[in-house]
Amino acid sequence: MRAMKRYIVFLPVFVWAIFFAGAEVKVENASIHRSGDSIRVSFKILVPSGTVASDYVQRLIPVIENGVDSLALDEIEIIGKRKQKLRRREAVLSGKTYEVPFYQTVDGGELQYDCVLPYEKWMGRAPVDLSLLCEREGCCKVEPLPGIFLCSDVKLRPPYVPSVQPVALIPSVAERLAEVEKVLFPMAEYEPYSDSMTVWRDRGALKVYFPLDKSDLRRDYRNNDVTLGRIVDILRQIYADDRSDVGKILIVGFASPEGPLGRNTRLAGTRAEVLKEYVNSYLELPDSLYEVANGGEAWGELRDRVEESTFDCRDEMLDIIDHTADLGRREWLLRRLDGGEPFKELLRSVFSDQRNSGYMRVYYTSEPDYNAIKINQAQGMIAEGDFDGAVSLLRPIREDKRCLNTLATAYYRLGDKATALDLFKQAAAMGDKVAIQNLENIENDY
């Protein structure tokens, strides 16, 4: 490579002398160091007059080696004046243009040697030496001359490799809401309503209450205003997110067991329909998203409440509920138990909470954080050396700021430093701490 760069480097000065034909060639300011992904070898040669006989050529070959691997660089010629004239004459007679070797000087001259070459991995495995192999060519033979070390035990640490950091997957709005809103369930858990479903045990279920024997939905009744607001707000947030959607809305209507069974069954179904109509008045969702189920009289919930209670006739009430199949007779027996006092307690503390539209579950669908998945996949490609593949994978999503540092790293490893630095700067400006550190380390590496 002939590429030249400007560096400000403060290094020890090495001065060596090579003796030829009674005169000495002086080598000054020898250095070898790394900058970025390149190695620079530099020194100056001074050739006193009389060093090389007029018909001779002296060759100096710089060599970098670490005891296992080695690399020979562009050779240097010190040419006698008559030998140089002979070469020119031979070129003219053959119809060619005489080309002076890049690193050539004549007896009595001087030469600045600067060679920039790519860094290779072996150069960082052990300290390296820089030496000159020497030979002399006359009219009919080439003879070796003693070599000499210019720099020894130089440590060339590997070039800085930008770092990447795995990207955490961002949950969708529905997934995030589901962590706090227990009314939300993944669509994979959906199953049609059946009498065996104990939906009343959902601690996060949204319940809307109705006055006794009524199906009119009143926002000012009990906590209905807050509950109805939550229902609409949750659904709106899900629909506003590109990665979230509503899969199914299950509304199960119940009524308390007091009163005629037929009336209670109709009341439970009507209350569930009223809640569906309320939600739909705000969001206009297709009917296919709703499952409106009639749970009838809430005997399952009643049994749970009795079992958890400290009622005096608790065990007797549980026995009636568990062993009386006819619902009308079941209610009649509870009313007559112990002079009616236990049933009055049920009216006061249980039945009022059962006069609601039932329980609501929202099943959601959610797309994965595909961008984060691609970014992490690209980081795996970079680790395996597939830098082009990483660029191809990330370029279409470069609007996602999370990918900028990884994309910059891929370009950097490809050798496109200008594009890489621009992307690192964009990521750093957006607060990416890894990109900020990469920029600082890259700057210090040159």
CA 425 to CA 192: how far, in whole Å? 53
Amino acid at 21: A
Of 98, 76, 78, nearest to 87 by C-alpha is 98
CA 270/CA 419 separation, integer angstroms? 65
386-400 mean pLDDT? 97
Res 23: pLDDT: 57
For residue range 196-236, list pLDDT tens digits in order. 888 878 777 788 888 878 888 888 988 889 999 999 999 99
Q: What is the pLDDT of residue 186?
A: 96
Quote the CA–CA distance of 187 and 177 in Å, as a whole number. 14
313: phi then psi, degrees, rounded to nearest 5: -105, 30
Contact of 131 with 65, CB cutoff 8 Å:
yes
User: What is the reported pLDDT for 95?
Assistant: 83
Q: Which CATH superfamily is domain 370-444 in?
A: Tetratricopeptide repeat domain (1.25.40.10)
Architecture of the domain delimited by 16-154: Sandwich (2.60)
State the average pLDDT over residues 366-394: 97
Instruction: List the strands of the sheet with 244-255, edge to edge.
Output: 184-186, 359-366, 244-255, 290-297
360: confidence class by pLDDT, cuts 50, 70, 90: confident
Closest CA to 265 of 291, 292, 298, 300: 298
> Over the stretch 28-51, which tens digit does the pLDDT of each residue have?
999 999 988 899 999 999 999 888
pLDDT band at residue 154 using 50, 70 and 90 as cut-offs: very high
Q: Which phi and psi (to 5°) does residue 333 adopt?
A: -65, -40
The secondary element (H helix, E strand) that includes residue 445 is: none
Domain covering 174-366 assigned CATH 3.30.1330.60 in the classification:
yes
| Least confident stretch, 155-164, 196-205, 291-300 | 196-205
User: What is residue 238's predicted lDDT score, i.e. its pLDDT?
Assistant: 96
The answer to whether residues 368 and 166 touch, using CB atoms and an 8 Å cutoff, is: no
Question: How many of the other CB atoms lie within 10 Å of CB of 128?
Answer: 24
Contact by Cβ (8 Å): 410, 382: yes
Domain ranges of the chain: 16-154, 174-366, 370-444
Confidence of residue 17 (pLDDT cuts 50, 70, 90): very low
Average pLDDT over residues 327-345: 91
d(CA 424, CA 174): 33
pLDDT of residue 28: 93
Of 196, 248, 199, the residue nearest 356 (C-alpha)? 199
Please tell me whether residue 253 adopts helix, strand or coil conformation: strand
Whole-angstrom distance, CA of residue 266 vs CA of residue 215:
10
Give the pLDDT of residue 354. Answer: 64
Burial class (CB in 10 A: 0-12, 13-18, 19+), 38: middle
Select the more confidently predicted residue: 163 or 353: 163
Range from 121-130, 345-354, 357-366 carrying the lowest mean pLDDT:
345-354
Contacts of 192 (CB under 8 A, 6+ apart): 291
- Angle between helices 370-383 and 404-414 in degrees, nearest 10: 30
Helix (H, G, I), strand (E, B) or coil at 107: coil
Can you tell me the distance from the alpha carbon of 59 to that of 101, in angstroms, rounded to the nearest whole number? 12
Q: Which two tokens stand for residue 392?
A: 């191809």
**pTM (two decimals):** 0.68
The partner residues of 136 in beta bridges, in order of sequence, read 58, 143
Contacting residues for 65 by C-beta, under 8 A, at least 6 apart: 71, 128, 129, 131
Q: What's the average model confidence in pLDDT over 101-126?
A: 93
Tokens of 367: 């797309």
The pLDDT assigned to 357 comes to 61
Burial string for 79-90 (b: 16+ CB within 10 Å, else e) reads bbeebbeeeeee
Structure tokens at 133: 């192999």
Which band of pLDDT confidence, cut at 50, 70 and 90, is reported for residue 16? very low
Token pair recorded at residue 25: 């060639």
